[in-house]
Amino acid sequence: MPIMNNIDLELDSMRQQLSTLKNKLNEQEIVNDRLVRRSMRNEVSSITRRYYILTVLSVLMVPYSYWSFVMLCDFSIAFWIGTSVFMLICGGATIYNALKINDPGLMSHSLVEVHRRVASAKKFDADWLLFGIPTVLLWLGWFFYEVYRQNDGVLVEGLFWGGSIGAVLGACIGLRIHFKTQRQYQEIMDQIEDLTVEA
């Protein structure tokens, strides 16, 4: 009988230890989930802040381009309108994508829903290059045509080089922002996948 009592006591002790371990693991999962969600929230905030800055810049380009292209360089009104439309389309697309992830309660949704929305925003951001790059190249061609037209068929060296350097710098900055945003989207998705695998 004493042997049976000892076995029962050991089994009870093991059950308690197992229960304690299980509780600790559950608490650890909750802590990990909170930490990952906080990290994801920070990444999303960084992306949306960048999107709003880019949108404001797109809108400000409308009056600025009128002043710089029409008033200073005497380019055509059609060129300014084309530039303004392009800038407003860029701003609209940026806001559209920001709204996919700019939900204060996004991180309280299921991880599957968060992953779906982030993946959708990442894809839209990547696909945007398919519209953006050809449009910028067309715009540059039109810019150089305006320079040529305003100077009786002669490309003014200052405007040509200024436009060329501006285009290269703009492309470098734009691509750097694009790849940083894509990397942040991927980090969020990876964190979600790690959490769901652990679960």
DSSP 108: G
- Compute the average pLDDT of residues 146-156: 74
Torsion angle defined by CA atoms of residues 107, 47, 127 and 144, in that order, rounded to the nearest 10 degrees: 170
- Compute the average pLDDT of residues 160-164: 82
| Mean pLDDT across the chain | 83
pLDDT surpassing 90 at residue 176: yes
Position 137 confidence tier, pLDDT thresholds 50, 70, 90: very high
pLDDT surpassing 60 at residue 139: yes
Percent of the chain with pLDDT over 90: 43
- Compute the average pLDDT of residues 136-150: 89
- Amino acid found at 71: M
Q: How many residues does the chain have?
A: 199
Percent of the chain with pLDDT over 70: 77
pLDDT surpassing 70 at residue 185: yes
Reduced to 3 states (helix: H, G, I; strand: E, B; else coil), residue 71 is: helix
191, 39 Cβ separation under 8 angstroms: yes
- Amino acid found at 162: G
pLDDT surpassing 70 at residue 17: no
pLDDT surpassing 60 at residue 156: yes
DSSP string, 119-149: HHHHHHHHHHHHHHHHHHHHHHHHHHHHHHH
pTM of structure: 0.76
What contacts 24+ positions apart, CB below 8 Å, involve 39-46?
39/191, 40/107, 40/114, 40/188, 40/191, 40/192, 41/106, 41/107, 43/184, 43/187, 43/188, 44/101, 44/102, 44/106, 44/107, 44/118, 44/188, 46/184
- Over the stretch 50-73, which tens digit does the pLDDT of each residue have? 999 999 999 999 999 999 999 988
- Compute the average pLDDT of residues 13-23: 65
83, 65 Cβ separation under 8 angstroms: yes
pLDDT surpassing 70 at residue 25: no
Q: Choose among 36, 49, 59, 180: nearest CA to 102.
A: 49
pLDDT for the residue 111: 78
